[in-house]
């Protein structure tokens, strides 16, 4: 049995089928775009978190390095005071161990303190300022990557015993 379908009926049938098909394709496309948007957002959030964590670790490392540099400067000052009573301080620029830090220096200032009650010791006030700057491309960034720590303490050294000549 043959069905006689006219051309006009055939066109109407095709017209009815295509809008539904186009509508489904549009829905699938929108769902796909939404999924891509959500996935991209998650990736961007993860990348931003990783970058933030890396910066924080780098900053903590630099602060720790600055504290160690300050401690080394204080030890250097104490040894210099013990070696020479006239030591007044210096600006110490240590040799860089790596190219990670462009600038490292410790400024040491020593002042002799007068104390009448303690005649067996010489007292000195030691102020040390450690500055550390990360290697960066521009001078403006050097300010942003600079850490500085300072400490002031009193140091005592025994006075040299007077040499008496019993001749």
If you average pLDDT over every residue of the chain, what do you get? 82
Q: Higher model confidence: residue 11 or residue 131?
A: 131
Taking the whole predicted model, whether its pTM rises above 0.85 is answered as: no
Neighbouring C-beta atoms of residue 15, cutoff 10 Å: 9
Burial classification of residue 39, based on how many CB atoms lie within 10 Å of its CB (0-12 exposed, 13-18 middle, 19 or more buried): exposed
* Residue 108 resides in a domain: yes
How many independent structural domains does the chain possess?
Answer: 1
* Residue 34 resides in a domain: yes
* Residue 163 resides in a domain: no
Q: Higher model confidence: residue 158 or residue 129?
A: 129
Mean pLDDT over 27-50 rounds to: 95
105, two tokens? 């220096």
* Residue 75 resides in a domain: yes
Q: Higher model confidence: residue 125 or residue 117?
A: 125
* Residue 132 resides in a domain: yes
In the prediction, which pLDDT does 134 show? 80
* Residue 28 resides in a domain: yes
Confidence of residue 135 (pLDDT cuts 50, 70, 90): confident
Domain that holds residue 67: 11-158
In the prediction, which pLDDT does 133 show? 86
In the prediction, which pLDDT does 43 show? 97
149, two tokens? 């720590």
Instruction: Tell me the C-alpha distance between 92 and 75, whole Å.
Output: 12
* Residue 64 resides in a domain: yes
156, two tokens? 């005592």
* Residue 91 resides in a domain: yes
In the prediction, which pLDDT does 167 show? 46
In the prediction, which pLDDT does 120 show? 75
């Amino acid at each position: 049995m043959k069905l006689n379908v006219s051309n006009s009926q055939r066109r109407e049938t095709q017209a009815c089928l295509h809008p539904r098909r186009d509508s489904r394709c549009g829905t699938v496309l929108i769902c796909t775009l939404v999924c891509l948007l959500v996935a991209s957002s998650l990736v961007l959030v993860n990348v931003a978190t990783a970058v933030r964590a890396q910066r924080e670790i780098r900053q903590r490392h630099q602060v720790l390095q600055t504290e160690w540099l300050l401690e080394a400067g204080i030890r250097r000052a104490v040894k210099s005071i013990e070696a020479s009573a006239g030591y007044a301080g210096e600006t110490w620029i240590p040799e860089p161990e790596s190219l990670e830090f462009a600038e490292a220096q410790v400024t040491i200032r020593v002042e002799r303190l007068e104390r009448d009650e303690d005649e067996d010791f010489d007292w000195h006030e030691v102020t040390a300022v450690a500055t550390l700057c990360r290697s960066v491309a521009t001078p403006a960034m050097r300010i942003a990557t600079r850490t500085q720590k300072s400490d002031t303490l009193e140091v005592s050294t025994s006075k040299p015993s007077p040499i008496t000549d019993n001749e």
